[in-house]
Structure 1
Amino acid sequence: MRPSPFSLQGKRALVTGCRRGIGLAMADALAQAGADIVGVSAQLEPDGSDVEKRVREAGVSFAGHQVDFADRAAVQRFAENVERDHGPVDILVNNAGTIARHPAAEYPDDVWDHVIEVDLNSQFFLTREIGRRMVERGRGKIIFTASLLSFQGGINVSAYTAAKSAVAGLTKALANEWAASGVTVNALAPGYIATDNTQALQDDTRRSADILSRIPAGRWGRPEDLAGAAVFLASPASDYVNGVVLPVDGGWMGR
């Protein structure tokens, strides 16, 4: 019997922002598909985290790291040492991110810099280091977490929109450079998912109702809704898929 094209058996996946929400769901899904997980988050517990428990329950290994993605030097150190400590990274999931809501005319400089550093700069620096080694080996899977705001403008989230729009462009640029070397670079664009990042919208009765009325699926998304798409983009099943920003949005973009 031929192996499943969706199997990740024997692969190692590095998942950033894995402590909760979408990152936790993706790490869990990749582990269920057979990948060992190196998990990274700014506040990841040294032992006993939810992500560690889920990954180990899947029968694969887990190694956790606490890295502040607003600290460029820390990201660089981690990127330089991760393969020395754990072996080659086959799958890189760039999911770490943050959001801050302010009217554009009042957006603080320091908040802008923080969001751009976490949501864009750190993504590039980590991908540059890991991606270089993937290119040398002639294989690899890179998945960014983009956003519906990679396509749209949003309200009161100018830094986040700028970063996520850039992530969509970066996905395509890296795919152009690395596809011929056997490295696929794609992104998932989650719709309105019920996580901590969207709690302010969920708590706003009028805004939440407006959002829900536009989602053809008739509900907010759940982190687990990203699981299948993440496994697909991480697996051999997507070997000829490159430079794609895939919405997982309950039909929002098609409305």
Structure 2
Amino acid sequence: MDWQHYFIFKQRSRGSKPAFKPETQQEAKMALALGIINIGDYVEFSLSMEPILDSVHDPDPEVRKQAIQKLAHHRDPLSIQILHELLTDDDEEVRLYAATQIDHLEKQFQTRIYHLNHQIAAAGSDDKLTFELAKTYLEYTEVLMIHPSLKDFFLQKASLLLNQLIEKHPRNPDYYYYRGRARQLQEQYAAASFDFRKCLSLDPNRPNAYFRWAECMFHAGRFHRVQEILKNLPFKNQDAETNDAILFWTKPSKAI
């Protein structure tokens, strides 16, 4: 991978539509990881590349239905974004299957949130249940929330619960990590970076915290800081995409 090539496109694309177009699924994943393309561009690319997405328009209705069910089963932001795209598909059955799966996921989250709130109210105070509710709000936002106002509403609810937990247990790294995720989704990169750093000061064995911290620095335009974070990672044997990203930022010959 020519990451210098990608970086040039990233510099050109800040504040405008990226000029880079991936040619393979691997390139698309790496470009998305570095922010060179956005989630919409990746979805558009994936719709023409992923075998599971090819099955969405299979002549057999049962195959189409199973493909959409598999998308919903992933429960990640990309898959749900694709499901929302399918709501405007030309095929009426595809629209119906996608709407059914989104509705099913929505009910799952709402039911879990209701039960957690009920359990907390009955218990009076329970840190474990409160933490589960905060994480559920966060996952609900990451997976299903598209409207900015609703997204911000649930992220604020998650942050409020995590603030309460941190006040009671200021040395629990999990609470800082998840509050950092909530702040990152709100594009509060300085505040999120503080939480990820605090998490790592309490527990250095957190690969995800390092990468999320680096991602915050990347979005803030502090590229040298990204280099410093990834150069000092105390972990080895990451997955291929992560290793490529680390090499991109840390190879000595690259100037930013």
Which TM-score tier does this pair reach, normalised by the shorter chain? under 0.3
Q: Greater RCO between the two (CA within 8 Å, min separation 6)?
A: 1
Higher strand fraction: Structure 1 or Structure 2? 1
Query: Between Structure 1 and Structure 2, whose CA radius of gyration is higher?
Result: 2
Give TM-score, length-normalised by structure 2: 0.26
